């Protein structure tokens, strides 16, 4: 029994650690899609954020500067992406795919000198007093680096509050559902959509910094491993709700952690199946809303009505 609890605690703790990347990127993507813009460039943005964090921390040995540098890369990239998709009204899917492939390739080139090297400085564990001492649950949930706490305990509730209980959130949802009506009431559609896109890009880059400074403290071309695409699927599974993004990210982290545990304990499960479990879960995430939705009825889990559609203001 004691061994089982020990294994369970380790599994839950690893799930928290692995899921943090998806929470950060997924919350940012939720804001972009709620505003009516597909940001399919997450894979490239996470890659750029990851290599930027590794390079910056190698030069400065400052975790704060590394995170700020990653966020800055995301913001600059987001401004350009918003200019193309929101202002110039280019096809969002094609633009996002281009950003994804460009980011992955550029990160591989920039990170060539850092490949395989351990990050010079990483976030260390900060146990929460009293709570970290609880059997099984304490070490699993309350003995992590600070970014893990921020990703799971602060970011989703804060994003939920902003999205559903503030005027800004109302404007974001309005331009995603009916930009013409929002424009008629004085809401700046271009400004709101551009801001949501820049925010999503910055969060994706910060997710990359989390990846190489918290979860996998080194850089390689394969370190992102499709997490950008999984984060996009996670937003759909979560019904475009930030709180559910956190839940879905934890479930994904649990599957990932189980794969690591099964390999470490030599379970008689094909390694290829274990490595594919997170991606099989992603397919399930994509299908679940279709299975559970009621035909002919819209609800909060449905995508915004104007998602992916550029807004052309009627000047008549």
pLDDT in tens, 63-81: 999 999 999 999 999 999 9
Q: What is the C-alpha to C-alpha distance for residues 73 and 205, in angstroms, rounded to an integer?
A: 7
Residue 288: its pLDDT value, please?
A: 63
Place of tokens 């597909």: 38
Q: What is the pLDDT of residue 225?
A: 87
CA 88, CA 174: separation in Å to the nearest integer? 21
Q: What is the pLDDT of residue 294?
A: 56
- The counts of H helices and E strands in the chain are 13, 2
Supply 142's token pair: 């309350």
Q: For residue 165, give the H/E element and its range.
A: helix 155-165
Calculate the CA 6 to chain-centre distance.
29
Report CA-CA distances (Å) from 229 to 17, 45, 48, 59.
Answer: 19, 11, 15, 30
In the predicted model, what is the mean pLDDT of residues 215-244?
Answer: 91
Span between the terminal Cα atoms of the chain, in Å = 73
Residue 7: other Cβ atoms inside 10 A: 13
Give the pLDDT of residue 314: 65
Residue 32 and residue 26: Cα distance in Å, rounded? 10
CB 223 within 8 A of CB 211: yes
Segment 166-172 mean pLDDT: 97
Q: Do 111 and 119 contact (CB within 8 A), yes or no? A: no
| pLDDT for residue 174 is more than 70 | yes
Judge whether residue 124 has pLDDT over 70.
Answer: yes
pLDDT per residue over 128-143, tens digit each? 998 888 888 898 899 9
Task: Determine the Cα–Cα distance for residues 72 and 2; give it in Å rounded to an integer.
Answer: 46
Q: Are 43 and 103 in contact (CB under 8 A)?
A: yes
Residues 6+ apart with CB under 8 A from 111: 50, 51, 54, 55, 219, 220, 221
Taking the C-alpha atoms of 78, 79, 80 and 85 in order, what is their torsion angle to the nearest 10 degrees?
Answer: 80
pLDDT cut 70: percent of the chain above it? 85
Return d(Cα 124, Cα 144) in angstroms, integer.
8
pLDDT tens sequence across 261-316:
676 666 666 766 666 776 676 677 666 655 655 554 555 567 899 999 999 876 54
Residue 8 backbone dihedrals phi, psi, to 5 degrees: -60, -45
CATH number, domain 2-292, options 1.10.3470, 3.40.1000, 1.10.3210, 1.20.1630: 1.10.3470
Average pLDDT, the chain: 89
Q: In 10 A of CB 108, how many CB atoms?
A: 16
Tokens 């899609």 — which residue? 33
Over residues 27-49, the mean pLDDT reads: 97
Global confidence as pTM: 0.91
Instruction: Indicate the domain borders of the chain.
Output: 2-292
As given in the structure block, the two tokens for residue 95 are 């633009």
Query: 140 with 13: CB under 8 angstroms?
Result: yes
User: Do the beta carbons of residue 197 and residue 95 sit within 8 Å?
Assistant: no
Cα of 40 vs its chain's centroid, Å: 12
Please tell me the predicted confidence (pLDDT) of residue 257.
Answer: 79
């Amino acid at each position: 029994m004691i061994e089982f609890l020990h294994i369970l605690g380790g599994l839950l703790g690893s799930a928290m650690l692995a899921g943090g990347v998806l929470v950060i990127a997924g919350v940012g993507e939720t804001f972009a899609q709620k505003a009516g813009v597909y940001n399919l460039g997450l894979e490239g943005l996470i890659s750029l954020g990851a290599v930027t964090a590794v390079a910056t921390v190698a030069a400065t040995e400052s975790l704060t500067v590394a995170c700020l540098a990653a966020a800055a890369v995301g913001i600059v990239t987001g401004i350009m992406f918003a200019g193309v998709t929101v202002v110039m009204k280019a096809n969002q899917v094609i633009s996002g795919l281009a950003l994804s492939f460009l980011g992955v390739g550029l990160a591989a080139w920039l990170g060539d000198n850092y490949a395989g090297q351990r990050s010079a400085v990483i976030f260390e564990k900060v146990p929460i007093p009293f709570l970290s001492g609880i059997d099984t649950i304490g070490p699993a949930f309350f003995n992590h680096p600070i970014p893990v706490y921020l990703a799971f305990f602060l970011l989703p509730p804060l994003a939920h509050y902003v999205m559903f209980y503030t005027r800004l959130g109302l404007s974001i949802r309005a331009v995603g559902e009916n930009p013409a009506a929002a424009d008629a009431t004085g809401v700046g559609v271009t400004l709101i959509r551009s801001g949501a896109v820049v925010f999503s890009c910055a969060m994706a880059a910060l997710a990359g910094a989390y990846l190489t400074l918290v979860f996998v403290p080194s850089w390689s071309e394969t370190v992102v491993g499709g997490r950008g695409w999984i984060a996009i699927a996670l937003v759909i599974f979560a019904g475009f709700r930030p709180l559910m993004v956190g839940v879905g990210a934890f479930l994904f982290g649990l599957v990932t952690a189980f794969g690591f545990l099964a390999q470490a304990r030599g379970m008689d499960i094909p390694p290829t199946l274990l490595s594919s479990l997170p991606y099989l879960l992603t397919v399930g995430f994509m299908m679940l809303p279709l299975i559970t939705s009621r035909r002919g009825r819209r609800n909060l889990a449905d995508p915004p009505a104007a998602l992916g559609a550029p807004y052309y203001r009627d000047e008549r």
